Amino acid sequence: MRDFSADHRWLSMNTATLRGAGRLDAIIEACARHGIRAIAPWRDPVAAIGNERTAALVRTHGLELSGYCRGGMFPAVDAAGKEAALDDNRRAVDEAKTFGAACLVLVVGGLPGALAGTPQSKNLFAARNDVRDGIAATLDYARQVGMPLAIEPLHPMYAADRACVNTMEQALDLCDALDPERTGVLGVAVDVYHVWWDPKLEAQITRAGKERLLAFHVCDWLVPTRDLLEDRGMMGDGVIEIPKIRSWVEAAGFAGYSEVEIFSSRDWWKRPVDEVLLTCVERHRRAV
Amino acid sequence: MRDFSADHRWLSMNTATLRGAGRLDAIIEACARHGIRAIAPWRDPVAAIGNERTAALVRTHGLELSGYCRGGMFPAVDAAGKEAALDDNRRAVDEAKTFGAACLVLVVGGLPGALAGTPQSKNLFAARNDVRDGIAATLDYARQVGMPLAIEPLHPMYAADRACVNTMEQALDLCDALDPERTGVLGVAVDVYHVWWDPKLEAQITRAGKERLLAFHVCDWLVPTRDLLEDRGMMGDGVIEIPKIRSWVEAAGFAGYSEVEIFSSRDWWKRPVDEVLLTCVERHRRAV
């Protein structure tokens, strides 16, 4: 297991962690000030400043992208909705390629309409079929472009509205089905927040193996957790044994960035960006 | 699958659903007014009116207990804490026996101290070992008394503070280990709120089988869910395919009550008890 205590060369900042800092250009410049070598941006803030400006900033600061957020959201109630999702995913693959991302992260989607608060179906089976078909179609395109897709199993509390793939086992079953040769173009993003509770986690990380462990995300589970979406904790402030989980992914061969992704409207988004970054660096060295 | 549309003979009221009605005697009398044949009371409200008064009310109204809530909470940081938990569980077994409950429901506990907001450990493995040992010890006593123990896998969002057993598979692995002969004294409580998201749910219900399916709890998953604990929905108001899950437990041989357990400080606990009961009866007939 790599020693993170001496520096933060393996720290990547998911830009959602710094949402309080405003536009993506300000966020990237703040990361550069703190010697961050990698980021993982979201599509909306990229769109707000444009692909070209984003690409120029990434180049200027010599940044890597540990991932690009996000593709997915495949389930829909009709063919037109499914096709629109596939179009959007192809654009996401293209953008990820433009920025040289290590992978496109897939938040696969839940029940159609649920994210907007108006579920149009209760059929999880249908949603999971849409997800399988959507990943299969996107994978064909991702292979041509050369952009790995990372299925992110989300915590089961998001099964209705964000992702109906909720365990590593389920994600890897999809990988086995859609990429049985383990070509490296389909794998998983392991976010400790989503999977820390899983009694089968270590076994499934071993099963994933180096070629399918495409991303590793960190934050912490707070006790109590006051909001299902935006009350994630800074590493070390919660109950997740992050170093233990990192030891498992590294034992399986993962050697990439630890990407800090903290949704925290109650706390970290309200703090000055430099304080957040200094804290992330310090916690990366002693709590990841 | 039984037809619930004509009456509510298989409806049981978990008394927590009626918390807004005050003391347990008022709750029991309201249930009797509405022709409810079974309840599942919690220990605190029972203690508030006393075991004798509770037993008398149960007898007077000819009520069955679909379960008694609850034993468990086994993990502790020291031997004294673990012993205290075992003592308390023996008392819970005795109370359940006094009232003639179908089973004692076990909410097994999470990280020591977490329920009080101050986790004293992050070690889920240790907590799970405490749970296994605690169930094993309680099971010895439960066998003597003749009171089945129902392990309730809780939704993974409660892994830290309430239960580190979070899937049916994990609960059944415990049953296999501790009661390999399937004597009927150890099984599971299937609460749709906790397990609806699980891609392996149907297979694990089948695996459980009739002798280990000791309780079936219903409510619904609201979209959006605004609170991790007290924002459960009335059956039919959320996205859980309750009849589908009931068809699975009945196909496996379950023929007991559907117990309505809705924690809802934002909505149902604020309403008149008769309105809540009328709604439960109506939804039991068409949405369970």
Query: Å from B178 to nearest chain A CA?
Result: 18
| Cα separation, A196 vs A226, whole angstroms | 18
Confidence of residue A66 (pLDDT cuts 50, 70, 90): very high
Helix axes A124-145, A168-178, angle to 10 degrees: 50
Residues of A in contact with B159 (CB under 8 A): 196-197
Shortest alpha-carbon distance between residue A65 and chain B (Å): 30
Chain A residues within 8 Å of chain B (Cβ atoms): 111, 114, 117, 119, 122-124, 128, 155-157, 159-161, 164, 166-167, 170, 196-199, 221, 223-226, 228, 239-241
The predicted structure's pLDDT at residue B60: 97
| Contact list, B157 vs chain A (CB under 8 Å) | 155-157, 225, 228
Please give the ipTM for the structure prediction: 0.97
pLDDT given for residue A4 in this prediction = 98
Phi, psi of A110 (to 5 degrees): -120, -130
pTM above 0.95, yes or no: yes
The maximal CA–CA distance of chain A, rounded, in angstroms, is: 53
Rounded distance, CA A204 to CA A190, Å?
11
Using 50, 70 and 90 to split pLDDT, how confident is the model at A247? very high
Residue pair A189/A174 in contact by the 8 Å Cβ criterion: no
* Distances, alpha carbon A141 to alpha carbons A93, A134, A167, B186, B209, in Å: 8, 11, 25, 51, 44
DSSP letters, A252-274, are TT--S-EEE---BTTTGGGS-HH
Task: For residue B202, give how far its alpha carbon lies from the nearest alpha carbon of chain A (Å).
Answer: 12
Provide the pLDDT confidence category of residue A241 given band limits of 50, 70 and 90. very high
Radius of gyration of chain A measured on its C-alpha atoms: 18
Write out chain A residues lying below 8 Å of B124, CB-based.
Answer: 196-197, 241
Percent of chain A whose pLDDT exceeds 90: 100
Domains, chain B, ranges and CATH?
35-218+238-253 (3.20.20.150)
Mean pLDDT on A232-259: 98
- Quote the pLDDT of residue B175: 98
Strands (E), A108-242: 149-151, 186-191, 213-218
The predicted structure's pLDDT at residue B49: 98
8 Å CB contact of B159 and A228:
no
**Which contiguous run of DSSP H or E holds residue B189?**
strand B186-191
Under the phi-then-psi rule, with left for phi > 0, alpha for psi from -120 to 50, and beta for the rest, what region is A182? Answer: left
Name every chain B residue with its beta carbon within 8 A of the beta carbon of A198: 156, 166
What pLDDT does residue B234 have? 98
Nearest-Cα residue of chain B relative to residue A229 = B226
pLDDT in tens, A160-171: 999 999 999 999
Q: Is the separation of the CB atoms in A276 and A268 below 8 Å?
A: yes
Residue B60's CB is within 10 A of a number of other CB atoms, namely 11
Q: What is the pLDDT along chain B (288 residues), one digit of tens a residue?
A: 999 999 999 999 999 999 989 999 999 999 999 999 999 999 999 999 999 999 999 999 999 999 999 999 999 999 999 999 999 999 999 999 999 999 999 999 999 999 999 999 999 999 999 999 999 999 999 999 999 999 999 999 999 999 999 999 999 999 999 999 999 999 999 999 999 999 999 999 999 999 999 999 999 999 999 999 999 999 999 999 999 999 999 999 999 999 999 999 999 999 999 999 999 999 999 999
Confidence of residue A129 (pLDDT cuts 50, 70, 90): very high
Using a CB–CB cut-off of 8 Å, the residues of B that contact A are: 111, 114, 117, 119, 122-124, 128, 155-157, 159-161, 164, 166-167, 170, 196-199, 221, 223-226, 228, 239-241
Q: How far B209 CA lies from chain A's nearest CA (Å)? A: 22
